[in-house]
Chains A and B, each alone.
Chain A
Amino acid sequence: QQQVKQSPQSLIVQKGGISIINCAYENTAFDYFPWYQQFPGKGPALLIAIRPDVSEKKEGRFTISFNKSAKQFSLHIMDSQPGDSATYFCAAGDTDKLIFGTGTRLQVFP
């Protein structure tokens, strides 16, 4: 009930392409679904987050799609840039804690 499954493990995208990362959760009590970006040797930084009362949220080139019935959510990075190359983590949780996905290493090539 506490797992958050994330795929793919790694992703290679050409500059300008769309990067898509998927996550699935189990606990229906979770009400907060953030995505984090992490560069090597640094702490994670919040990219965008969504709550289950909406199905999509867009901020700049980043979009979260949320499917409550399927207990799935995904991150779309439009117009991917080499500077987006990093590890991305989804998470799911509530006021008490966040459970992190296993991470996706994104590489964007020029």
Chain B
Amino acid sequence: GAVVSQHPSRVICKSGTSVKIECRSLDFQATTMFWYRQFPKKSLMLMATSNEGSKATYEQGVEKDKFLINHASLTLSTLTVTSAHPEDSSFYICSATRQGDGNEQYFGPGTRLTVT
């Protein structure tokens, strides 16, 4: 149990366009979802935390207007990278917590974004 999926797994987009990444908890209702960014051979950097029906909490230095997060239901959160630029190319990973499991975060498989 506690499976998190992401779609798409890979996406290539042109500079200036927007791209949406979905994060779903498949077999549980997620109390909280997190979005991370990971550059090659680097650590995971938390971008934002979201709870269903409320505005996301962004980490310092993360542009809210560039990385739009929508958490419309207990099983779905989306990250939209607006007006993407090559420097936004990265590996984006979401995670979710499940009620009763305390702090444990269940991670998705990640989405590789390449902006050309």
Contact = CB atoms under 8 A, between A and B. Distances in A.
Interface of A: 31-32, 34, 36, 41-46, 49, 89, 93-103, 105
Interface of B: 4, 6, 34, 41-46, 49, 91, 93, 95, 102-110, 112
**Chain B contact residues, majority secondary structure:** strand
B103 A100 contact: no
Nearest to A46: B104
Contact of A95 (B6, B46, B102, B110): B102
A76 to B, nearest CB: 21
A66 to B, nearest CB: 15
Given A32-B102, A34-B104, A43-B110, A100 B44 contact: yes
B77 to A, nearest CB: 15
A5 to B, nearest CB: 11
A44 B107 CA distance: 6
Contacts of B95: 43
A34 B6 CA distance: 22
Given A32-B103, A43-B110, 18 more contacts: A36-B107, A42-B110, A43-B4, A43-B107, A44-B44, A44-B93, A44-B107, A49-B104, A89-B44, A93-B103, A94-B103, A97-B34, A98-B34, A99-B46, A101-B43, A102-B42, A103-B43, A105-B41
